[in-house]
């Protein structure tokens, strides 16, 4: 059979890492989808790509990025953000709604879709911002083409979206049919504690936005979700207390953590200052250790970068004038691969957190697995390669990273989207091919 089949592309001699472990396999691709797995040494193809010594993972899906378009393009735009993504081995992204204007209507979602298609370098979906006004329409909004689902900001962050009262949150949960994503910080506590900010000291950021603000919000959210019979996804969980609490809510709640909450701690404010100012904040080391334990014990469902760039000039303003957020989509893979080499994480678990997990909890159609019939989206890595993360290598318009100068082992060398080499050995080789991600719960009806 394999001798007669002609593939468009064969990826040869790689170690394939997927849902059934890792092993030496070839992958044959036809029309952008996986058509064969195994020994294809006697098959023919229009293109053969030698991957000897490399690992092929399911294409990494970053389900939380802020690409700032429209309205804040001086920080980032869809094209530059997606360049950073593919340079980092990421094949698909879900972009956040806190742009200017916010993404909260069908027209504004459609505008982002027009801006993205064949302009972005990776595939994409867009979160729709939940408001009091659009809550009754959640079931319609979340099924629109390109919609990743509804996103709720329970605590104020960058932008104008905030929905912090029980009635408003419950309205979204009752109306939505898909999983709803949340930024979970208690706005009332943030308001009361704002006087804890110390001018010029970014280290006071986690004192103001303390662990209790996160826990109070997450406890309230879990209670509201149970009452509504709704599914929730809690973004960038940052505290030991939340991880402990959420053990009893895995029937309704899924959990995201970020590389920066796994790799940095409050001790790093002395060196990096407002460069690592995030919402929710980088916290004391005990929280980082608890998140690692939660990840290793299977409590965590996905890794998201929360890529949230600002210009270096903006970030260098004295705290608290400095905005919260930092780039992260390009460094997600190198940071986490370094932990693989240190023995804290297996490649199989990394694939679960960045591909299988998003596929499972968001209901992504044909992405997130290396299996027959799925899109040929791959992140190809050299686990032995040593590299240095640098500002100079940034694809983001922001042009900086808090990891500047960090040495890591393990590096993405290829980004493959629907069988096309988009990035190879650090170079963009196939541009502007981005298409919308589809979701099982919102598939268009076809004859």
CA-to-CA distance for 160 and 156, rounded, in angstroms?
Answer: 8
Strand partners, 427: 424
Tokens of 155: 């605590």
CA-to-CA distance for 265 and 17, rounded, in angstroms?
Answer: 31
E runs forming strands in 83-174: 90-95, 123-129, 147-153
Tell me how many degrees the CA angle 140-308-67 measures, rounded to the nearest 5: 55
CA torsion sign for 266, 268, 271, 272 is negative
CA nearest to 83, candidates 438, 426, 435: 426
Q: Which residue has the tokens 């920066």?
A: 260
Asked if residues 234 and 242 have their Cβ atoms less than 8 Å apart, the reply is: yes
Tokens of 355: 């591909």
Helical packing angle, 106-116 and 78-87, nearest 10°: 60
Residue tagged active-site, from 164, 186, 210, 306? 306
Is 306 an active-site residue?
A: yes
Tokens of 4: 């007669």
CA distances from 143 to 106, 265, 361 (A): 10, 39, 16
Q: Label the pairing between strands 123-129 and 90-95.
A: parallel
Tokens of 350: 């990394």
Count how many residues are written for the chain.
447
Asked if residues 2 and 40 have their Cβ atoms less than 8 Å apart, the reply is: yes
CA-to-CA distance for 216 and 163, rounded, in angstroms?
Answer: 15
DSSP assigned state of 323: P
Residues classed as catalytic = 306
């Amino acid at each position: 059979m394999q001798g007669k089949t002609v593939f468009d592309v064969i990826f040869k001699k790689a170690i394939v890492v997927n849902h059934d472990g890792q092993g030496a396999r070839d992958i044959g691709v036809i029309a952008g989808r996986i058509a064969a797995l195994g020994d294809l040494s006697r098959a023919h193809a229009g293109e053969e790509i030698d991957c000897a010594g490399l690992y092929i993972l399911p294409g990494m899906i970053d389900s939380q990025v802020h690409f700032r378009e429209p309205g804040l393009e001086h920080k980032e735009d869809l094209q530059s953000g997606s360049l950073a993504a593919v340079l980092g081995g990421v094949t698909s992204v879900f972009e956040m709604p806190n742009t200017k204007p916010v993404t909260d209507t069908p027209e504004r979602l459609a505008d982002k879709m027009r801006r993205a298609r064949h302009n972005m370098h990776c595939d994409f979906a867009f979160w729709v911002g939940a408001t009091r006004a659009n809550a009754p329409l959640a079931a319609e909004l979340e099924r629109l083409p390109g919609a990743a689902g509804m996103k709720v900001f329970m605590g104020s962050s960058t932008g104008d979206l905030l929905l912090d009262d029980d009635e408003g949150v419950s309205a979204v949960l009752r109306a939505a049919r898909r999983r709803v994503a949340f930024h979970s910080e208690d706005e009332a506590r943030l308001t009361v504690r704002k006087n804890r900010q110390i001018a010029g000291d970014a280290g006071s950021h986690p004192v103001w936005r303390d662990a209790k603000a996160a826990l109070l919000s997450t406890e309230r959210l879990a209670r509201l979700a149970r009452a509504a019979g709704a599914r929730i996804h809690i973004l960038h969980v940052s505290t030991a207390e939340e991880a402990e609490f959420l053990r009893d809510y895995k029937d309704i709640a899924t959990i995201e953590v970020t590389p920066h909450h796994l790799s940095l701690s409050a001790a790093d404010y002395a060196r990096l200052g407002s460069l690592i100012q995030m919402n929710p904040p980088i916290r004391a080391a005990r929280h980082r250790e608890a998140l690692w334990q939660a990840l290793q014990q299977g409590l965590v469902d996905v890794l998201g970068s929360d890529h949230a760039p600002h210009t270096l000039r903006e970030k260098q303003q004295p705290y608290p004038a400095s905005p919260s957020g930092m780039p992260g989509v390009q460094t997600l893979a190198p940071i986490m691969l370094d932990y693989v080499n240190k023995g804290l994480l297996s490649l199989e678990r990394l694939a679960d957190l960045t591909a299988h997990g998003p596929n499972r909890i968001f209901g992504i159609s044909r992405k997130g697995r290396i299996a027959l019939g799925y899109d040929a989206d791959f992140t190809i890595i050299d686990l032995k390669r040593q590299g240095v993360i640098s500002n100079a290598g940034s694809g983001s318009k922001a042009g900086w990273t808090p990891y500047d100068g960090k040495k890591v082992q393990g590096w993405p060398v290829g980004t493959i989207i629907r069988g096309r080499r988009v990035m190879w050995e650090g170079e963009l080789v196939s541009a502007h091919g981005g298409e919308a991600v589809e979701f099982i719960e919102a598939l268009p009806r076809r004859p």
